[in-house]
Structure 1
Amino acid sequence: MDPAEVGAVWRIESARIVAALTRFTGDFGLAEDAAQEAVAEALVSWPLNPPASPAGWLMATARRRAIDAIRRRAALKDRYAQLVPAPVIEEEIDPDRIDDDILSLMFISCHPVLSPEARVALTLRVVGGLTTEQIARAFLVSVPTVQARITRAKKTIAAAGVPFELPPADERRERLGGVLSAIYLIFTEGSTATSGDQLVRRDVAYEAIRLARTLAALQPDEPEVHGLLALCELTAARFPARTADDGSPILLEDQDRRRWDLSAVRRGLAALAKASPRGLGPYGLQAAIAATHASAPSVEATDWDRIVVLYEALGRVAPSPIVDLNRAVAVAMASGPAVALPMVDALAASNRLPGSHLLPTVRGELLTRLGRHSEARTELELAARLCTNPQERSVLLRKAAAL
């Protein structure tokens, strides 16, 4: 079993392992540290002696590491004695079992004592199983910054004595924004991976969808929970048509829409209907954009004017440079590249997307459509240098070479 396979098991099982250890030890930081030690040991042990039950092996090893750590803490001798008769955690883990333990873990990660940035970074690490590098790319910040946020967050949670339990209903609403943001970023990493040789990491994306479904069942009166679920379902509906057999990306205009997952579309539209009666928030508006794409038979037949209006509304309730860039793309489709290019140039001049390959990608596309091929090639080559996903990078290089 190679390191990639170890990583795959960890991504799938990390939240369950950390949640179970947190319930077992009552110490969130200790649980996460013990789980990480188990993964480090797996990287050495599994290539030589693959376990019959990888998830069970990680759970058992992490549990032993946690108990060893408690033994080493002189101040916690009495607490360790109380743990001895505790029931043994089952080593067999049902990979489809989602229970309140994971949601409890998410609400701990999104506790109000933490800053918004720390809440999302910690949740992505312990619930999503993402590496600090992946989280850094999602936030467009440095790896040391993410590491510092996670370390401070765990220390803050320990100092505040945050219990491992689902908070009361009124406290859940207070922490809901951080939980939704974490699920969304987990899904985003799965739907367009920032690293590795796959464009789509379905295991990560579907884990986010499962968490969103569970959260919707727990908080059925929260419109934005349904809005996020709708966005994830409608985006995932395109997965079967997004890549070729060799894993290379298929652009939206070239996708065979007959391969889109109609069941996911129906689920997404049903969730969007639940989000709509009280007005759409940021996730609901993004879901409405995805629904507009899902209802169109082709790119040309898409209601781009509606998408422009939805992006304008999204920019008012949740302004961000990515929203501005996406609105420019929609404007280009609705009114032409000449109208959209000044919007992209203004965004570039503001330097609000440093290091991102998305802006030069869009600018290169617009310049190509305007016949300014030399400038377009320069932008696409820059985008390829900045892109961290090899599948996306190959598409950008092919486009640049064609010019």
Structure 2
Amino acid sequence: MESSFCAAPVDDAAIRARTDSYFNRTKAIVTRFGDCVVTYAVFVRRPVLSATAMVEQWLKNIAHERGIEILVEPVFPEGEWVGAGEPLLYITGFFSHLVDLETLVLQKIGSCCVAAHRAYQMAISLPKAQFLAMEARHCAGYEMQELMVYGASVGSRTARKEGAVGFVGCANDATAAFFGQTHGFGTMPHALIGYAGSTLRAAEMFHEVYPDKDLTVLVDYYGREITDGLAVCRRFKDLAEAGRVGLRLDTHGGRFLEGLDPQESYAVLDRYVPDALRRYRSESELRNLIGTGVSAAAIWRMREVLDQAGFEKVKIVVSSGFGVTKCASMADASAPIDVVGTGSFIPKLWNETYATADIVTYDGSESVKVGREFLLPSFRRAEENRRNLMHRDDRPRG
């Protein structure tokens, strides 16, 4: 995984150009008037999962490149829950060595910790489903993608400890290593179906070129999810019976799955999960259950027609807006989902991702901005643990 931690710059010129100017000026002032050793505490204002390995590796690269020492001490193990305002890590070194790094450090902390928390929530909501990370198209460049997919991998590992399947791969090769893979997953976009002229023909083309690959087919292009889905299953009956066919629902939010409307959607859920409709629902929750697009009713209906046609082993793959809320709604409806393709672990409210760093000691003396005194107790605990560890290490060996 560490081989992927390479998008961020480590050369001084790039760092100077990308950091805030007042940090660059502070570096010059400190260099002139005398350096000191400082410790920064880095925190996020909302609950997150700790995902600091990326910034730790970057700081390690910086220390190597500059020939300096930077001590980075994570407060929490990777993937552990962190309360709002609790320091995620401490960074110690000479002030002149660290001050120009603050901007770039903060860019690498908050967003991936929030993404980790969201990915965990999604995976734990649907513990039996496999998730595929499809964030790349929603990211502002590769550096953001790397942060997001790293966060998803951290959240997924935490969810797996609690019995969820979690994220098993992603959409492209560049970030596949975060999930222990060598390549990205995926079969076809809508464009291939438009090119082929029919859903079935696109499936045939794919299978001819990739006969050893499992076949997952988008079935919403022509608005005939059921008709085209069954046609693919019948054409590739042997693959379907072997569990090597999947139908991907990506139905546009402006229409219902083939054959459904509000009344039929209610009827489908009433057949399979009637209790899901008998609790109070917000408007967004109700839409996830019986509305347009890839609703719980649409998924249940697809499972129903597949089973009735004898294709019990055909998988249902879903995409389109599967974030924290939608995954929770699907869990409420026990939606029979096999695979979720999603980039919706990307933080929904970006201002929740803002990380902050404050210096808590100068040459060993505590000093922190008024209002940030809450950073000191955990720092003192960390110092005490460090002293105790050093004391144990200094004891004579028997």
TM range (shorter): under 0.3
Higher relative contact order (CA 8 A, sep 6+): 2
Which is helix-richer, 1 or 2? 1
Q: TM-score, normalised by structure 1?
A: 0.27
TM-score, normalized by length of structure 2? 0.27
